Amino acid sequence: MNTSTPAPAPLAAATLDAAVAALRAGKPVGMPTETVYGLAADARNPEAVARIFALKGRPLDHPVIVHLPAGAALHDYASEVPAFAEALAKTFWPGPLTLILRRQPWVSDAITGGQDTVGLRMPAHPVAQQLLVAFGGGLAAPSANRFGHISPTTATHVRDEFGSDLPIVLDGGPCAIGIESTIVDCSGARPRLLRPGMLSVDAIERVVGQLDGDTQLAPRASGMLEKHYAPRAPLRLVSRAELERAELERGDREHGELARTPHARVIALGSMPAGCSGVVLPDDPDRYARGLYEALRALDHGGDAPILLESPPRTPSWLAIHDRLGRAAAGSGEH
């Protein structure tokens, strides 16, 4: 995992004060993290947490991750912390890893979705930490997108999602990682992978040994996938050969393309035909992840024009990207 992007500027005192005052008043704030932007609210105020659910249009039984200031104790929120969870937090926090732990009784159902566990993460983004430390407590934050839509990776994306419904969006620049955190369930006897992320299974297994859960690239039926991370346009995952064939078949009819290397048509014509748009993302998982959601937003014009997406290799370093692409394709109504 390579997180080398320019260091985001710290918040000005007045901006930070306004954000903290809003949070204390129970209002949501758009917050950058190193993975994706979050929609933050005071984790100790169930009404504030309910407001983020209402703003997102998210069902109430979906649990939300609590973001912690550096130095916070896991036991503030978790009733049981197995040694493997301690080891993961010690090794990877602050960073793009969420741990699911048995909750303290005081943690509200608004956060846990009524479950007896809570998701905890200490983000590494300096602006997130500036906010968390100034606020002085945990912030519940789902990704800052309307339910089922693509996660935001810039402050502009967040403003595009919520407009005047969300007056405070802190700008921490583009997210260095670009897809959501790796989630490991630590509430059972053994750690279990719930959601792959750019913090790899390999890195985690070096600390805690073999993970339970689907850590391979097992193909999943689209009906099994949550409708999530979806652009509005139909999205089709295709091989390189299929991409080039589909391109010929579609001719100049409108479509979008997300390729890993410049395709024949761009090379031959110097540009895409009118009405068609193409994005080429780097053939490197870290840089691909960083650009993925921005590219999907750029290609998603809301119409029926399909997005053809060149499928990345099925190797472990692309696991999290495949997970998100599979969900996006499933959610878009085409596969």
| Dihedral over Cα of 18, 24, 28, 31: its sign | positive
Tell me the C-alpha distance between 159 and 141, whole Å. Answer: 16
Which partner from the list ligand TXA, Mg ion, none does 88 bind, CB cut-off 5 to 8 Å by kind? none
Contacting positions for Mg ion (CB under 5 A) = 143
Tell me the C-alpha distance between 121 and 31, whole Å. Answer: 14
Which partner from the list Mg ion, ligand TXA, none does 152 bind, CB cut-off 5 to 8 Å by kind? none
**Closest separation between CB of residue 142 and ligand TXA, Å?**
3
Cβ atoms of 65 and 128 closer than 8 Å = no
Contacting positions for ligand TXA (CB under 6 A) = 33, 35-36, 38, 62-65, 98, 100, 112, 115, 117-119, 121, 141-143, 180-181, 183, 194
Residue 224's CB: how many other CB atoms inside 10 A?
8
CA–chain centroid gap for 3, Å, is 15
**Closest separation between CB of residue 187 and ligand TXA, Å?**
8
If the CB atoms of residues 143 and 317 are measured against ligand TXA, the closer one turns out to be 143
Among the listed residues 30, 79, 24, the one whose alpha carbon sits nearest the alpha carbon of residue 56: 30
Tell me the C-alpha distance between 118 and 126, whole Å. Answer: 24
**Closest separation between CB of residue 145 and Mg ion, Å?**
6
**Closest separation between CB of residue 333 and ligand TXA, Å?**
21
If the CB atoms of residues 129 and 143 are measured against Mg ion, the closer one turns out to be 143
**Closest separation between CB of residue 175 and Mg ion, Å?**
13
Tell me the C-alpha distance between 109 and 64, whole Å. Answer: 10
Which partner from the list ligand TXA, Mg ion, none does 65 bind, CB cut-off 5 to 8 Å by kind? ligand TXA
If the CB atoms of residues 159 and 250 are measured against Mg ion, the closer one turns out to be 159
